[in-house]
Amino acid sequence: MDRGEKSIFRCQQCGYESFRWLGRCPDCGGWNTLIEEAFKEEKKYSLHPEEQSTPLPISKIEIEENKARYKVGISEFDRVLGGGIVPGSLILVGGEPGIGKSTLLLQIANILSNQYGTVLYISAEESPYQIKLRASRLGTLAEKLFLVSETDLEVIKKHLNNIKPKVAIIDSIQTINDYEITSAPGSISQIRECTGQLMRFAKSKEISIFIIGHVTKGGILAGPKVLEHIVDTVLYLEGEQYNIYRILRSTKNRFGSTNELGIFKMGENGLTEVLNPSELLLSEKPSQVSGSVVAATFEGSRPILVEVQALISYSNLGIPRRMTTGVDYNRVLLILAVLEKRVGYSLQSQDVHVNIAGGIKVLEPALDLAIVMAIASSFKNITIDSGTVIFGEVGLAGEIRMVNQVEKRIQEVLKMGFKRCFIPQGNLKNLSSFKSKKDLEIIGIKTVREAINLALN
């Protein structure tokens, strides 16, 4: 860098800027993350020419009712997006390397090109030949699906202008660069500028653009939170690399709910949707084993039955282990304190392991009572009846508090063929339509002690 040229040091994790080098970023605490970059004045952009930007009364603004979304046809994917792809939206898909991001988007590109017209797949990491090999294996060889390998942002915009696709996919944003920015591809400046230009291009040309982003070892998007602020929707594809199941989760969505979740199964022909996740998650549930309980949880707009597992064993360590997978660690510590204080269980010398089977993560408090019962079942080594489903929030006084969407949870319980359901006492008054069901016994629970006495009888 020329000595006469101004420079700035920018953190590559959070975007913090400093005019001198620092060993540790004052904002995010990262070590050796500040990289020297050329300082340039911020460019000024506008989505519309100045004469077209006119303030209007909100009552005079017309809503385009006929502006339909692009339906992919994969119900799990459409649900997570809020009903389909909004024309002109910018969607970020993140996930660990090898999790299946490129595979999923190549399948979606094939479906969209068959239904709506031209789709352009831009790869900055693979050649068209490599993509063709994957497409042949997946059976995604639509005539209107175009491929190109390119890293220059200006050339990419020319391709978009010439082909005019309905949807474009860029794999990945960390390898795209704008040559007016002197920093290397993948830096904060490059990612922010390239994503900003793609956002303006998508809005002005009504092209829906998917951009793929890698995640760091800590599980966050490589490059910055500023990337999430620019885009309209952020999707994460989660799952263990050696597990066949993948979970697509929305963490930001300007056009729908952020609580939706889609479950896919990885196979030789790519990712296929799982239409009945409750059946999948309970398919390998062991019978006549203590510490295993079925709970009814809610993800977005649908109920899901999950298996809560607990293992309590004597510890030889001075400080017993507390390990959780799929549930909030601090919530489990709170539940253990309730069991010790309100029920009288002595767990100070016991290792406690709590797990949600199937790799799913559940954070809602309606899972509390199921965790209590799984721990109690393992601690007493008494099996809970396999036809029982349990849900409810646990308070610090040992009381069971009401939860929402009880009717939909019980409908899922009935559909899966369970015979007994433990729910909070306060939710019973709203279940008049289910009281006449002879094939399901619904039991209202007031306290943790009462639930343990009934379930472990």
Tell whether 102 is in a known binding site.
yes
Tell whether 228 is in a known binding site.
no
Residue 435's SS3 state is coil
The secondary structure of the chain in percent helix, strand, coil, rounded to multiples of 5, reads: 30, 25, 45
User: Could you tell me which of 71, 138, 133 has the C-alpha nearest to residue 106?
Assistant: 138
Q: Is 168 exposed, middle or buried (0-12, 13-18, 19+ CB in 10 A)?
A: buried
Tell whether 98 is in a known binding site.
yes
Give the span between the Cα atoms of 393 and 328, in whole angstroms: 14
Q: What is the CA radius of gyration of the chain?
A: 26
Residue 283: φ, ψ to 5°: -65, -30
* DSSP category for residue 252: E
Tell whether 96 is in a known binding site.
yes
Tell whether 71 is in a known binding site.
no
**Domain 71-275 carries which CATH code?**
3.40.50.300
Give the span between the Cα atoms of 157 and 435, in whole angstroms: 61
User: Could you tell me which of 408, 402, 400, 387 has the C-alpha nearest to residue 296?
Assistant: 408
Tell whether 95 is in a known binding site.
yes
Give the span between the Cα atoms of 259 and 97, in whole angstroms: 24
Tell whether 267 is in a known binding site.
no
In order along its 457 residues, the chain shows pLDDT tens digits of: 444 457 788 887 777 888 889 899 888 888 888 888 776 555 555 555 445 667 889 888 776 655 688 999 899 999 999 889 999 999 999 888 888 899 999 999 999 999 999 999 999 888 889 999 988 888 888 889 999 999 999 999 999 999 999 999 998 888 898 888 777 787 777 888 899 999 999 998 999 999 998 775 555 554 546 678 889 999 989 877 667 888 898 889 998 888 788 889 888 888 999 888 888 889 888 888 999 999 999 887 789 999 999 999 999 888 999 999 999 999 999 999 999 999 999 999 999 999 999 878 888 999 999 999 999 999 999 999 999 999 999 999 999 999 998 999 999 999 999 999 999 999 988 776 666 567 889 999 999 999 999 998 7
- Residue with structure tokens 């510490």? 291
Tell whether 220 is in a known binding site.
no
Q: Omega into 46 within 30° of 0, i.e. cis?
A: no
**Domain 280-455 carries which CATH code?**
3.30.230.10
